[in-house]
Structure 1
Amino acid sequence: MIIANDGVDASSSAAFLSRMLQFGDSMFPIGAFAFSAGLESAIQKGIVINAATLRAFARTALEQAARGDCIALIAAHRAATAGDIDTLVQIDAQVYARKLSEEARTMSVRTGKKFTELGVDVVGAPLLCTWRECIKKSVTPGCYPVALAINFAVQDLAACQAFVVHQYGVATTILGAALRLMKVSHIDTQTILYELTGQVPGMYETAAAARLSDMTSFAPLTDILAAVHTKAHVRLFMS
C-alpha cells in the first residue's frame, strides 16, 4: 500500500481525485455548454469587450456563486451526509426561490436534473435514486448545487471538493462561451481560469462559515442581462 505524505492512502486519494475530475469535467454531459451565464448579453451590450472585462465578469460570477449557490451546496452536503431528505428539499427550494430570472432557473434545474440522472446511472447510490424520484414527482425542483452536493456526499467526496467543482464549472461555462462569442484566445481564457482558481480557497472559507440564511441572490446586473437576453433577436446560448 502506498501512503501519501499526509498519511492518507495514496491509491484512495487518487480514486477520489479521479472521480472529482470526472464529475467536474466540462465534457460531463449535463448540458451546461448550452448556457453562457449572462455573457452573451454582456457582450451584446458592450459590458464585456476584451480579456480584461471578461476576467472581471467571470470573477464577479464566481463571487456571486460563493455568496449564493455555494452556501446551499455546503449545507446540502451536510444534509446528504446525514441522509436527511427533508432538509435537502428545503435547501433546494431556497436555491430555486433565489433564481429571479427564468433563464437562471432553467439552467439550474436542467443541469441539476441531468446531473442527478447521470449520478444514478454511474454511481447508483440509494440517496441519488431517492432524489431522482423527488424530482420526478415534483416534490422538489432539483437545482444543480444540491444535486452536486448529494452526488459528492454519497461518494465520500468532501464539501470542499464539491465547492471546487462548482466554481470551476461556473468559470469554464463563461470562458468556454467567450471563445465562441468574442475575440479572445485560448491563452487568454486559460490565464483567466488560472487566476480565478487561485481565489477559490478564500471563497470556500467564506461560504463554509456562512449560514443558509446568509445566502443572497443580489445580482441586479446579472438579472437585467438575463431579462435582455430573453428578448434578444439573435441568441446562440440559452442564457
Structure 2
Amino acid sequence: MSIEPGAVLLMQWLSPAYPVGAFAYSHGLEAACNAGQITNAETLSDWLGDLLLYGSGRSDPIILAAAYQAQDDAALVQVDARARAFAPSRERLAETVSQGAAFCQTTRGIWGDDLPDLTYPVAVGRAARLHGLSLDLTLQMYVHAFVSNLVAAAQRLAPVGQLEGQQVLTELAPLIRDVAQNALQTDLGALAGASFISDIASMHHETQYSRIFRS
C-alpha cells in the first residue's frame, strides 16, 4: 500500500514534535473547564463539535484553503489580514500569530521556503502550496491535528482520561472529514463564526488567576 505523496511531510508539520508550541494553548478550553462547562467526555465532545461546526474549527480550514489558493503575495497578505481580524480575542490572536511565526521560522530554516511570518492556518496553507501538497489531505490533517491538540489539552486539565479522549476523537472523525471537505468548497467571503461561548471563554482566560495554558 502506497502512502500519498506529501503525507509524511504533513505528519511532520502537524505532529506535536514540530516546534510551534501548540501544546501551550488550550483555545479557551482551560477557562471552560475552570467554569464547569466541560466536565466529562460528553461535554468535551459537544464543545469540540460546536467548534468544528460554528467556530475556528470551521473558519481556520477555510482560511488555510484561501492561503493555499492565493495567486500572489498581495493576495496572501489579504488572507493573513483577514485571519488576524477574525480572531475574537487577544489570546486567540496571540495563539495564531505565535504558532504561525514558529511554523514559518522552522520551515524556512529546514527547507528555505519563502515564508514571511504568517498566522498559523495561512502559514500551513502557503507551505503546502509551495511543496505541491494536496489541499484536500492538508485540510483533513490540519483539522484532525486541531482537534487532537484540544483533546490532549483536556486530558491535562483532567475532565477526561486517555481512553475517553481517544473515543471523543474517534466519534468526531466523520465531522472532521466533513469540515475539511466544506473548506474545499467555501469561499473566504463566506467566513463566519457563531461559537460565542468558546470566544467568551478565551476572553475569560486572559484574566484567569491560575492557569496552565497560554490561551
**Number of the residue aligned with 1:139:** none
Q: 1:100 aligns with which of 68, 88, 102?
A: 88
Is 1:16 aligned to residue 6 of structure 2? Answer: yes
**Number of the residue aligned with 1:138:** none
Q: Distance in 2 between matches of 1:145 and 1:179?
A: 24
Q: Distance in 2 between matches of 1:102 and 1:218?
A: 18
Partner SS, residue 112 of structure 1: helix
Q: 1:37 aligns with which of 27, 39, 51?
A: 27
Q: Determine if contact 1:36/1:237 at 8 Å carries over to the other structure.
A: yes
Q: 1:124 aligns with which of 95, 112, 121?
A: 112
Partner SS, residue 236 of structure 1: coil
**Number of the residue aligned with 2:39:** 49
**Number of the residue aligned with 1:172:** 148
Q: 1:76 aligns with which of 39, 46, 67?
A: 67
| C-alpha distance after superposition, 1:31-65 (max 9, x if no partner) | 11101111111111111011110111122222223
Is 1:110 aligned to residue 98 of structure 2? Answer: yes
**Number of the residue aligned with 2:129:** 153
Report the CA distance between 1:178 and its aligned residue.
1.0
Q: Tell me the TM-score normalized by structure 1.
A: 0.84
Deviates more, 1:173-182 or 1:161-170: 161-170
Equivalences for residues 183-198 of structure 1 within 5 A: 183-198=159-174
Partner SS, residue 39 of structure 2: coil
Q: Distance in 1 between matches of 2:27 and 2:52?
A: 11
Percentage of matched positions with identical amino acids: 28
Q: Distance in 2 between matches of 1:119 and 1:193?
A: 28
Q: Which amino acid aligns with 1:75?
A: A
Q: Determine if contact 1:30/1:115 at 8 Å carries over to the other structure.
A: yes
Report the CA distance between 1:88 and its aligned residue.
0.4
Report the CA distance between 1:223 and its aligned residue.
1.8
**Number of the residue aligned with 1:237:** 213
| C-alpha distance after superposition, 1:120-157 (max 9, x if no partner) | 112223xxx2x32xx3xxxxxx2101000011111111
**Number of the residue aligned with 1:210:** 186
Partner SS, residue 37 of structure 2: coil
Partner SS, residue 198 of structure 1: helix
Report the CA distance between 1:17 and its aligned residue.
1.7
The count of residues paired between Structure 1 and Structure 2 equals: 214
Q: 1:65 aligns with which of 56, 60, 82?
A: 56
Q: Which amino acid aligns with 1:184?
A: V
Any gaps of 5 or more consecutive residues in structure 2? none
Report the CA distance between 1:15 and its aligned residue.
4.7
From the superposition, tell whether residues 218 and 199 of structure 1 become closer, same or farther in structure 2 (CA, over 3 Å).
Answer: closer
Q: Distance in 1 between matches of 2:4 and 2:137?
A: 13
Report the CA distance between 1:198 and its aligned residue.
2.5
Partner SS, residue 233 of structure 1: coil
Displaced runs of 4 or more, over 6 A: none
Q: Tell me the TM-score normalized by structure 2.
A: 0.93
Q: Distance in 2 between matches of 1:66 and 1:210?
A: 14
Deviates more, 1:69-78 or 1:201-210: 201-210
Q: Distance in 2 between matches of 1:36 and 1:73?
A: 20
Any gaps of 5 or more consecutive residues in structure 1? 5-9, 136-141
Q: Which amino acid aligns with 2:69?
A: R
Q: Determine if contact 2:52/2:175 at 8 Å carries over to the other structure.
A: no
Q: Determine if contact 1:92/1:143 at 8 Å carries over to the other structure.
A: yes
Bigger radius of gyration among the two: 1
Partner SS, residue 199 of structure 1: helix
Q: Distance in 2 between matches of 1:166 and 1:48?
A: 24
